[in-house]
Amino acid sequence: MNTAATSLAPSADLPVDQYMDAVGRAARVAATAMAASSTAARNNVLLALAGQIRAHAGELKARNEADIIAAEKNGLAAPMVDRLRLTDKVIETMAESCEQVAALPDPVGEITNVRRRPTGISVGQMRVPIGVFGMIYESRPNVTIEAASLAIKSGNACVLRGGSEAIHSNLALWKLVQAALTQVGLPANAVQLVQTTDRAAVGQLIAMPQYVDVIIPRGGKGLIERISNEARVPVIKHLDGNCHTYVDSEVDLDLAVKVTDNAKTQKYSPCNATESLLVHAAQAAAFLPRIGKVFADKGVEMRADARAKAILADVPGAKVVEATEQDWFEEYLAPVIAVKVVDSLDEAIAHINHYGSHHTDAILTTNHPNGMRFIREVDSSSVMINASTRFADGFEYGLGAEIGISTDKFHARGPVGLEGLTSLKFVVLGQGEVRS
């Protein structure tokens, strides 16, 4: 058994810079053991963790109560307090998610694309863990289990930094993760939680390339911008989701109304909800009154350009205001949508590439070449034909898990599952070949 398996977590009594350095070093040591561990061992940790969570539900709720009381005392808004809460249902869902992650195929170890070269060597690529990832998040303590379970499954080590408002819940959850790792004989330091709420710890976590290979932040745009600007390692992130639905010149109107409605109103807060609606001029008179009625009935405010406004103004009950330039950039996360009439597919694509956030954009069309041009030329992490932007999600895509969504073009793009936590290295299998 590796000595890493029995190492203790660094003491949070150290000065923060020494503490974080020790955390980083311990993560790197644990990562090596995790990369060498078997699929069975990692799955057994996840099953053990599910058991730990169920067995300690009462303790989890008690520790969570300390966070809730503090949050209420600090005047945290009620929806934020709700997101903090570990109910029986949330606890059971955490346990089940560990079992589901255990059941996923192991992303690690596969060797692909092996080809014999004229020199005699065979060259392929092996999928291996990235190493150590840092995760910075706010509020919901179940993210601790999500991140820990994906780290374990993918053979990585991780350093978790949750919000200070959830520190008691996170510490209690972490204790169970450590217990599950130890139970199976894998290093407890494969998952570390930053035990101090000192903000300097975050600054250091994102600037230790010798220990941390990638940072995954989850939270508001401000947090993510700050982290991206200061990070000295790659960041898997999306800043915002200004998603578009474009209704093309040739379209099934019933389909367009149904899909646009879903893309905007099925939920207002997710990053994959549509925020801007573009309508080809040839369909504006037919389509806008119908979707305008849906939005009017659901209380969705429409920020429209002059042409769209002229049509929407006639819809009974519609809240229509004139769009400003800023509206085309906006991620409302609310019952508000920007609406614009465009004269061509080219104009739609140019608008999306200029004002969008490169997250998710959809075309609704019956014209095949238009659909293919749209998905090729719109420069976004997810592009869709005749589907709701709300589908942009790791589970809906069949990734089995989602650690985040990336709008960057490097490495992982779009919803990031286990594969985004891995890397490919080249393997060469020879019989003594030399280069001439």
Among 138, 213, 240, 248, binds its own copies (CB under 8 A): 213
In degrees, to the nearest 5, what angle opens at C-alpha 273 toward C-alphas 269 and 278?
140
Residue 126's DSSP bridge partners are: 111, 425
Instruction: Say whether residue 75 binds its own copies (CB under 8 A).
Output: no
| Rounded Cα gap, residues 351 and 355, in angstroms | 6
User: Strands, DSSP E only, in 37-193?
Assistant: 111-116, 122-129, 132-136, 157-161, 191-193
> Which residue number, 73 or 115, has a Cβ lying nearer to its own copies?
115
| Rounded Cα gap, residues 412 and 337, in angstroms | 29
Q: Other CB atoms closer than 10 Å to residue 230's CB: what's the count?
A: 13
Instruction: Say whether residue 130 binds its own copies (CB under 8 A).
Output: yes
Instruction: Say whether residue 367 binds its own copies (CB under 8 A).
Output: no
| Rounded Cα gap, residues 228 and 215, in angstroms | 9
Q: What are phi and psi of 275, to 5 degrees?
A: -115, -20
Instruction: Say whether residue 426 binds its own copies (CB under 8 A).
Output: yes
At its nearest, how many Å lie between its own copies and the CB of residue 349? 9
| Site size for its own copies (CB under 8 A) | 66
Residues in the chain: 436
Q: What is the DSSP string of 42-83?
A: HHHHHHHHHHHHHHTHHHHHHHHHHHHHHHHHTT--HHHHHH
At its nearest, how many Å lie between its own copies and the CB of residue 419? 10
- Binding flags for its own copies, 331-360, as an x/- string (CB under 8 A): ----------------------x-------
Instruction: Say whether residue 309 binds its own copies (CB under 8 A).
Output: no
At its nearest, how many Å lie between its own copies and the CB of residue 179? 27
Instruction: Say whether residue 279 binds its own copies (CB under 8 A).
Output: no
> Which residue number, 87 or 116, has a Cβ lying nearer to its own copies?
116
Instruction: Say whether residue 262 binds its own copies (CB under 8 A).
Output: yes
In degrees, to the nearest 5, what angle opens at C-alpha 317 toward C-alphas 314 and 323?
70
At its nearest, how many Å lie between its own copies and the CB of residue 15? 25
Q: What are phi and psi of 243, to 5 degrees?
A: -85, 145
Instruction: Say whether residue 117 binds its own copies (CB under 8 A).
Output: yes
| Rounded Cα gap, residues 427 and 145, in angstroms | 33
Task: Return the SS3 of 415.
Answer: strand
DSSP code, position 8: P
Instruction: Select from 49-57, 69-77, 159-167, 261-269 the region that touches its own copies (CB under 8 A).
Output: 261-269
> Which residue number, 165 or 213, has a Cβ lying nearer to its own copies?
213
Instruction: Say whether residue 177 binds its own copies (CB under 8 A).
Output: no
> Which residue number, 309 or 359, has a Cβ lying nearer to its own copies?
359
DSSP code, position 3: G
Instruction: Say whether residue 123 binds its own copies (CB under 8 A).
Output: yes
Among 83, 414, 417, 418, binds its own copies (CB under 8 A): 414
At its nearest, how many Å lie between its own copies and the CB of residue 64? 30
| Rounded Cα gap, residues 166 and 150, in angstroms | 20
Residues within window 21-60 making contact with its own copies, judged by CB under 8 A: 32, 35-36
Which residues have C-beta within 8 Å of that of residue 48, sequence separation ≥ 6?
A: 179, 180, 183, 184
3-state secondary structure 118-186: CCCCEEEEEEEECCEEEEECCCCCHHHHHHHHHHHHCCCEEEEECCHHHHHHHHHHHHHHHHHHHHHCC
| Rounded Cα gap, residues 391 and 12, in angstroms | 42
Instruction: Say whether residue 385 binds its own copies (CB under 8 A).
Output: yes
Nearest of 204, 210, 209, 211 to residue 227 by alpha carbon: 204
Q: Other CB atoms closer than 10 Å to residue 358's CB: what's the count?
A: 23
Q: How is residue 130 written in tokens?
A: 């990235």
Instruction: Select from 13-21, 46-54, 293-301, 374-382 the region that touches its own copies (CB under 8 A).
Output: 374-382
Instruction: Say whether residue 183 binds its own copies (CB under 8 A).
Output: no
Instruction: Say whether residue 114 binds its own copies (CB under 8 A).
Output: no
Instruction: Select from 19-27, 69-77, 281-289, 384-392 the region that touches its own copies (CB under 8 A).
Output: 384-392
Instruction: Say whether residue 234 binds its own copies (CB under 8 A).
Output: yes
Among 23, 86, 160, 392, binds its own copies (CB under 8 A): 392
Instruction: Say whether residue 384 binds its own copies (CB under 8 A).
Output: yes
At its nearest, how many Å lie between its own copies and the CB of residue 108? 9
Enumerate binding residues for its own copies (CB under 8 A).
Answer: 32, 35-36, 109, 115, 117, 119, 121, 123, 126, 128, 130-131, 213-214, 234, 252, 255, 258-259, 261-263, 266, 353, 362, 373, 375-377, 379-388, 390-392, 396-398, 409-411, 413-415, 423-436
